[in-house]
Amino acid sequence: MRCAFLFAGIAAAATATAVARAQVGPGTFIKGSEVWVRAAGTTEPRRITDDGRKKGLLVQSKSGRRLAFVRDSTDEMADIVVMNIDGSTVSEIHFRPLGSGVSGMRGVEDLRWISDQRLVASGSVNPSTEEYAVIDVGTGKQVAGNLTDGPTWVASPDGAHAAYVGMIPHFTAEDLRRPQFCLDDGCPLLGRSSGYPPEDSGTHVEFTVPPEWSADSAAVAIIAEDYATHEDRVIVRYVGGRVRDVPAPREAEGALGLAWDGDSLVLTAGGAKWRLEADSPSFSRPK
């Protein structure tokens, strides 16, 4: 298995995740050029915009109280409008006005909420690199951001952290790639990286699934395939800094998946399951 196939797998899984995140509540939709909302307990939707400007990327916050969408504009990369579900405007964010000189994504291709106060706008920089910009909806300012290798960026459930595969320069030869599993601002464009595997280790792995966060936002896991031996490993990173690198069971064959059960990690393959307990050095079959 090689990185082109692995990247395609991550992209497909990440796209499915983005689609799921982008869903809005029943009765919330764009019709023509306007946003419509059907409130709970009512049968008829109500139009909450009336400006005739084309809109897209409609997303609803996790609490359901707020909506955000991109509105057609010629003055900035994206005119992002945030509204309460009752139709009142929270803010209008002029994301990267023309002439601002900010480089990165070529356009906003995806919008998602990570909390009621923060949005993430993302888009491709080139065929292999994505940029994710975290925006505070109150100030309209970008407060964090990352460059990633493909669509691999996943926020923690509490919206306070991000996990991703760090950017690798486009057109890097396959055998020279050294992908790293990164947290927050740990893999900057310039400066030393704290990604895993360490950048000076020479280790080459390719990541095969998007990161999977624990429900308490304390840890995040990902599956990696050793480039030389094709052996699978599970890497777990904890927000406090601890890292676990655990070989997948040799009998685990086929597509591998990850899910958290409390502070234990469950690995699945072909209908079989293995658990990695918080205090265990290896996976074991459930009793």
Q: Which of 30, 60, 64 is nearest to 47 (CA)?
A: 30
CB-based contact 219:238 (threshold 8 Å): yes
Tell me what the mean pLDDT of segment 2-28 comes to.
50
Which region, left, alpha or beta, applies to residue 241 given φ > 0 means left and ψ of -120 to 50 means alpha? left
**pLDDT tens per residue across span 108-145:** 999 999 999 999 999 999 999 999 999 999 999 999 99
What pTM value is reported for the model?
A: 0.89
**pLDDT tens per residue across span 69-118:** 999 999 999 999 999 999 999 999 999 999 888 889 999 999 999 999 99
Q: Using CA atoms, how far apart are residues 21 and 153, in angstroms rounded to an integer?
A: 13
More confident residue, 40 or 202: 202
Share of the chain above pLDDT 70, in %: 91
For residue 16, give both structure tokens: 């499915």
Q: In what order do the strands lie in the sheet with 34-37?
A: 28-31, 34-37, 46-47
Q: For position 3, what pLDDT does the model report? A: 47
Confidence class for position 41, pLDDT limits 50, 70, 90: confident
DSSP class of residue 74 equals S
Q: For position 103, what pLDDT does the model report? A: 85
Q: Using CA atoms, how far apart are residues 243 and 20, in angstroms rounded to an integer?
A: 29
Please say whether the dihedral angle defined by the alpha carbons of residues 100, 101, 104 and 105, taken in this order, is positive or negative.
Answer: positive
DSSP 220-274: EEEEEEETTT--EEEEEEETTS-EEEEEPPTT--SSEEEEEETTEEEEEETTEEE
Instruction: Assess whether the previous peptide bond of 197 is cis (omega < 30° from 0).
Output: yes
Share of the chain above pLDDT 90, in %: 81
DSSP class of residue 5 equals H
Q: For position 21, what pLDDT does the model report? A: 41
Q: Using CA atoms, how far apart are residues 90 and 93, in angstroms rounded to an integer?
A: 10
Res 231 pLDDT > 90: yes
Q: For position 8, what pLDDT does the model report? A: 47
CB-based contact 6:205 (threshold 8 Å): no
Tell me what the mean pLDDT of segment 55-65 comes to.
94
DSSP percent split of the chain into helix, strand, coil, nearest 5: 10, 45, 50
Domain boundaries, the chain: 3-151
Tell me what the mean pLDDT of segment 142-156 comes to.
97
Res 19 pLDDT > 90: no
